[in-house]
């Protein structure tokens, strides 16, 4: 994936994380609707503006995979919910075995990616 593609994907993911519409961000940045969806060439100046808008470092905008961060957060939330549901049903030993199994499964999936 190119830096340009990563930045465009990250803008969309950051919109989800921050509960803001992509069109609203494009409008505030002075770009036409669908700008980031079409994956245009994002100039370094535009990357600086986007990083400032989301109050982040430009390196994070270019390198961090925010789609993956969203997915991992959902997995953690699902794990927390599962633990909460199981705590009244199982002994601590049974629950720890299940948690270890779930964590190992998640780790194996992440290694495969």
Structure tokens at 88: 């009244």
Helical packing angle, 3-17 and 44-53, nearest 10°: 20
User: pTM of the predicted model, to two decimals?
Assistant: 0.62
- Which structural domain range is residue 100 located in? 68-112
Check: CB of residue 53 under 8 Å from CB of residue 25: yes
Residues 6 or more apart in contact with residue 43 via CB below 8 angstroms: none
Quick: pLDDT tens for 8-54. 888 999 998 889 999 999 999 898 888 888 877 888 898 999 999 99
CATH number (domain holding residue 23): 1.10.260
Q: How many CB atoms lie within 10 A of CB 33?
A: 11
Indicate if 59 and 80 belong to the same structural domain: no
Indicate if 60 and 100 belong to the same structural domain: no
């Amino acid at each position: 994936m190119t830096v340009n593609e990563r930045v465009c994907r990250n803008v969309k993911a950051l919109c989800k994380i921050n509960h803001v519409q992509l069109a609203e961000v494009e409008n505030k940045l002075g770009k036409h609707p669908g700008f980031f969806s079409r994956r245009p060439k994002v100039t370094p100046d535009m990357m600086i503006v986007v990083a400032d808008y989301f109050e982040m470092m430009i390196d994070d905008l270019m390198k961090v995979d925010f789609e993956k961060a969203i997915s991992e957060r959902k997995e953690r939330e699902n794990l927390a919910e599962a633990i909460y549901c199981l705590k009244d049903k199982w002994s601590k030993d049974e629950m720890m075995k299940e948690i270890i199994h779930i964590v190992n499964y998640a780790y194996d999936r992440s290694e495969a990616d």
